[in-house]
Amino acid sequence: MTSLSPVLKQATPVVVDHAQGSWIHGTDGRSYLDFTTGIGVTSTGHCHPKVVAAAREQVGRIIHAQYTTVMHQPLLALTEKLGEVLPAGLDSVFYANSGSEAVEAAIRLARMATGRPNIVVFQGGFHGRTVAAASLTTAGTKFSAGFAPLMAGVHMSAFPYAYRYGWDETTAVDFALRELDYLLQTRTAPADTAAFLIEPALGDGGYLPTPGTFMDGLRERADRHGIQLIFDEVQAGVGRTGKFWGHQYSSVSPDILVTAKGIASGFPISAIAASTETMSKAWPGSQGGTYGGNAVSAAAGVATLEVVEEEGLVENSRVRGEQLKAGVEEIQERFPVIGDVRGRGLMLGIEFTAEDGSPDARTAAAVQQATTEQELLTLTCGPAGNVVRLIPPLVVTAEEIATGLERFEAAVAVVTE
């Protein structure tokens, strides 16, 4: 009998029968509150009627309109719609399928636009699983172990992870910016540095919001040295953090923005946006792909952005996020094994620690497993695997958050008592 490859590591034993809104209904007859959203993808909830209708309608018109052969209307419409939310000046968009591909497209563009080879990434960043994207990923050696050599020209600098060092945010940001300056003096000269690549909130690397002041510091150095600043908004974008883009917690914009996941509610599509001037520095045909900017995905993307706007989902993410965080902080008071609760909007990380403050991956993994038993789906993350992350859909209601909190607490109680 043929079976799925064991290279896949499934976080839960659930087999989906169908799903709607915040709920996944399993073939086991149980209904699970989904606080994973397919790793931050189903922003409008599962099978939002408007997204379903748009995709159905598009399937009947054309499914695959290969975009280097013919252009199609949904991609033009999505580009126009994205223009309403993209930072000023990023007026040129290229589409791919996945986050990894878009990250690679951003790197390719940054190198071509600057004529420089090196990329600086920040410790704990996750940028994807293709070999080049994995080379940029420092969220854990599990993402790159065993298949070296990786892409050359990648240098890692510090991330301002205040909790880990027991510092306040200002000290952590000051430290990380000094480390970056030191890297530029000792390892990759500005004249050799094409880009800084950073997530506005670390995703797989531990659900750590990137301090706005750190992003400001990156912008200042990028401007000073002619380095492209790339924000990987694949997980933090499209309302996830309670603002449309995660970087809006800083006062700066990127030169290249990468988006995917939440942009089309589960249909595969990703994009990079930059100024026309920057995009023009790459030669025509230097980016492409058979499936990029799929017509059905693009139609679902337009519907998603309309739903986000019409239903006020960015604001809902902020308000429900506050409810979720306050609820988990209350639970933290009863369970000392919860060391840190952090996040913005509906991107919440719960770090489990031992009495001496060291990472407690065993408890985090046990809690994640126990939440499934409580019919709440969650995931872990972080280099040590000791962070449980909660990623509800942006349509989540106050009642669903309350239910999720009850189930989460029950899971922590089962594991720790």
Can you list the pairs that 354-363 forms with residues at least 24 positions away whose Cβ atoms lie under 8 Å? 357/166, 359/384, 359/385, 359/386, 360/386, 361/385, 361/386, 363/337, 363/415, 363/416
Please give the residue whose beta carbon sits closest to ligand PMP in the complex.
99
Measured CA to CA in angstroms, residue 374 lies from 31, 77, 345, 368 at distances of 10, 42, 23, 10
| Closest to ligand PMP by CB, 203 or 327 | 203
Cα dihedral value 233, 235, 238, 239, nearest 10: -120
Q: What is the CA radius of gyration of the chain?
A: 21
**CB of 96 or CB of 338, closer to ligand PMP:** 96
Least distance to ligand PMP, CB of residue 204, Å: 6
Backbone angles phi, psi at 285, to 5 degrees: 95, -5
The least distance separating ligand PMP from the CB of residue 69, rounded to whole angstroms, comes to: 24
Q: Is the peptide bond before 149 cis (omega within 30 degrees of 0)?
A: yes
Q: How far is the CB of 199 from ligand PMP (least distance, A)?
A: 5
Q: Closest separation between CB of residue 202 and ligand PMP, Å?
A: 8
CB 299 within 8 A of CB 55: yes
> Closest distance between ligand PMP and the C-beta of residue 39, in Å?
5
Residue 262 or 339 having the CB closest to ligand PMP: 262
**Residue nearer to ligand PMP on the CB measure, 93 or 184:** 93
Nearer CB in complex with ligand PMP: 353/368:
368
Q: Which is nearer to ligand PMP, 103 or 279 (CB)?
A: 103
**What is the closest distance, in whole angstroms, from the C-beta atom of residue 185 to ligand PMP in the complex?**
28
Q: Can you tell me the distance from the alpha carbon of 91 to that of 192, in angstroms, rounded to the nearest whole number?
A: 27
Name the minimum Å distance from CB 239 to ligand PMP. 15
* List of residues contacting ligand PMP (CB under 6 A): 39, 98-100, 103, 126-129, 199, 203-204, 232, 234-235, 260
Q: CA 49 to CA 85: how far, in whole Å? A: 23
Residue with smaller CB distance to ligand PMP, 103 or 105: 103
Measured CA to CA, the distance from residue 12 to residue 32 in angstroms comes to: 11
The 3-state DSSP class for residue 84 equals coil
